[in-house]
Structure 1
Amino acid sequence: MARMLVRHYGSKEFDKKKLNKYLKIERDYLNILYWEIRAENYYLELQSIQLKSFAKLDKATEIKFKNYVIELDKMTNINTIFFKDLRYKVKIALYESQNDYNSIFQLSDKTYKELIKSKNKSNIILQNINLRRAFALIQLGRFEESISIGTKDMKNLPSGSLGWYFIAHYKLKALLYKADYGNAIKLIKLMLEDPGFSKLGGNHKELFGATLGYIHLIVNAGLAGDPIKMVKVLPEFKIGKFLNAIPVFSKDKLGINVSILLMHIGFLLQRKNYNAIIDRIDSLKQYAYKYLRKDDTFRSNCMIKMVVQMTKADFNPIRTERYTSDLYKQLEQVKLAGSGENIETEIIPYEVLWGIMKKAIQ
């Protein structure tokens, strides 16, 4: 519109005052567009680096992106929702690369409270920020607060929508980490029985299916009450059917791969199928060597090493305890909250999973 008025008052109906007015408006909008594009490019650049590797940024790259943040923060005169959201995303991506969950939560909380007051607020942007808040709270071990956000958002979002499933996932994650298995069972049942589940993409179905599998492990171990009663409440889960339906060693799903491998071993232990576990140990060790050699996979490494030691102990509970005691101490020293590991990898805390596995060989 400003461009049209510039043309109009600059030629057809010349008016210097109005021409200057609309020229300024045009320049202002061009400046806004310039900074929106610049912020978007910064975000896409950082995101592309993160997608290639889950490792922390090297020092030079980290400094470069810190300078991007400083530069964007100086643009206090750019107040569009789009720019504010992109600036927020650049900062969040930087904090995520540093595993700085306190900063992720504080920035998300501040941005959410600021944008929700805006006249032109975007519900999609607010939902995405809320997801970050819920995620950060889980990483900080503040499960009740994350559950509270999930409960509120699930009421406000259309049941079965993608956004509803995203926030439900984090609520479910927090419930499992808090060991609130009764409510976790109710929620996974609600999620899987909603008509919207059939419309989800394969990756989401796989993640929720794996979570259901872990809940079955919990129920089988008697951690959620009487197993006979509780298994009747749960949606059915068949480990063989689940494994046949997914490409387990897909390279682009490193986190979920570990979850599935360990879940499978959990089921085999509960069924006393020790030979099948021994057959899979070499594959498990190779996988760990290839993909889990970084600090941000320390807990997963410990967990896999304990499973390997269990096989070396011939599944004898006393020898297993002796062979794995040091590894378990190391696992406990690196707490799940704030460890920096992908929370999709650790669907339930490894301490709980290890307890389930040890109980299975008693």
Structure 2
Amino acid sequence: MYAEMRQPAKYKKIIKQLAAYQAQLALEEEAEVLYADIKMALNHKVRSRKFLLHQMPVYQHKLEQIHKKVKSYNTFHFLYVTRLSKEELVGNYEEIIKITSVTEKARKQGKINDKRFDKRFNNYMSVYAHLRCRKAEQGLALAEEYFKDFHYSSGNWFYFLETYLLLAVHAKQYGQAFELLQQARKNPYYRKQRVAAQQRWELYEAYIQFVQPEQSPVKMRYFTQFVQTVPDYSRDKQGYNVAILILQFLHFLRRRDIEGLLARLEGLRKYEQRHLRDPATLRSQLFFRMLLMTVKQNFVLAVCEKKAAPLLERLKAAPQPGEAYGEIEIIPYEDLWELTLGILRQNQMEQAAIEHAERNRT
């Protein structure tokens, strides 16, 4: 326009501004491409996420350099999400709590564009990090505060509620976890979730039902059927399959179904050999061995407790795996081991009662 109007001074001034903005836009687009590469790998298979681990420091460094030059909201956003993704991949959830806390403080101080920044995502990552670094009580309190910011028609409402429920389970607030589960079921948008998401809710319900069994025969029949058919639901060789195998084993242990238990025992062995060789899966490896020990020791409570003690200490000291390894503990393994010992104790008492009744009859 200035060229057409023959105004050379204004033309030269605006051309310089335009060149600066074009240079900024080019850097922002470069940052966006870097972030897109990261996002693609994160949304792919477990193997891709493991490969990404080695590339993340390079990506982060490039994004930091771009942000120093541009200092725009766009470059901040790509760097911020990349930093969170990097720590999530390696399982450094304490650092995620720090990042989210510092970011929220900066938002309140007006250092971040509040109209563009999604504080709900920041809050979700904080709550999720509390779950993964074993700060369930603190995380549960934050989840109760932050949940009101999510609208029930949003898919993010369900994602946040999943973490909220798991925090309740990890804090051993099973009654609250059941109420949250019912809240999800009653949401009119529940059936509009992806099939995989609905199956996760079913698995959560199965665990809660296992910990606090309902007396309803219909519920118990549904639970039994679910536990026996759930392997068909999962094709990924890590993640929820671990939780499924454990639940099946404990289910047959409680029922004292030796035939079913031995079948699941073989499944546990094969799974460990094929998919739990990585050092980052140490917690699952150790817990699998503890479960296998109950069979080797013929389900004798005192012997199982004694033999598993060294493994339990190693389990308590083992770090939580990062997202790169796709593992999830619906109930912490330490709590599941207490539950396992409780089942052995109950089975032992019932067996002793049966033997006592038989002796009285003879």
TM-score norm. by structure 1 comes to 0.82
Cα deviation, residue 137, structure 1: 1.9
Superposition map of 1:148-227 within 5 A: 148-220=141-213
Is this contact kept in 1: 2:243–2:330, CA < 8 A? yes
Structure 1 residues 180-220: Cα deviation after superposition (integer angstroms, max 9, x where no partner): 22211211111122112111112211222111111111113
- Within the alignment, does 1:301 sit opposite 2:285 as a pair? yes
1:244 corresponding residue in structure 2 = 229
CA contact (8 A) 1:217 1:356 kept: no
1:186 to 1:247, Cα distance in 2 relative to 1, 3 A: same
The CA distance in 1 between the partners of 2:72 and 2:278, in whole Å, is: 40
**2-structure distance, mates of 1:318, 1:235:** 30
Aligned residue type for 2:204 = T
C-alpha deviation, 1:21, in angstroms: 4.0
Indicate conservation of the 8 Å contact 1:310/1:323, yes or no. no
Two-structure CA RMSD over aligned residues (Å) = 2.9
- Tell which has more relative contact order, 1 or 2 (C-alpha 8 A, sep 6+): 2
Contact 1:101–1:136 (CA under 8 A) maintained in structure 2: yes
Equivalent in 278, 294, 299 of residue 315 of structure 1: 299
2:92 counterpart of 1:87: no
Aligned equivalent of 1:20 = 12
Pair 1:331-2:318 in alignment: no
Could you tell me which runs of 5 or more consecutive residues in structure 1 were left unpaired when the two chains were aligned.
1-7, 221-226
- 1:355 matched to 2:338? The reply is yes
CA contact (8 A) 2:245 2:264 kept: no
Deviation at 1:239, TM superposition (A): 4.0
* CA distance, structure 1, for counterparts of residue 89 and residue 51 of structure 2: 5
SS at match of 1:259: helix
Equivalenced residue count is: 338
Deviations 1:162-182 (A, max 9, x none): 111111111111111111222
What CA distance in whole angstroms lies between the structure 1 residues aligned with 2:9 and 2:114?
A: 30
Aligned to 1:4: none
- Of 275-284 and 42-51, deviating more is 42-51
Pair 1:119–1:45, CA change in 2 (3 A): closer
Calculate the TM-score normalised by the size of structure 2. Answer: 0.82
Would the alpha carbon gap of residues 329 and 217 (structure 1) be closer, same or farther in structure 2, given more than 3 Å must change? same
- 1:5 corresponding residue in structure 2: none
Shift of 1:14: 2.7
Q: 1:282 and 1:268, CA in 2 relative to 1: closer, same or farther beyond 3 A?
A: same
Aligned identity (percent) is: 20
1:36–1:86 CA contact under 8 A, matched in 2: no
Amino acid at match of 2:246: L
- Matching residue of 2:116: 122
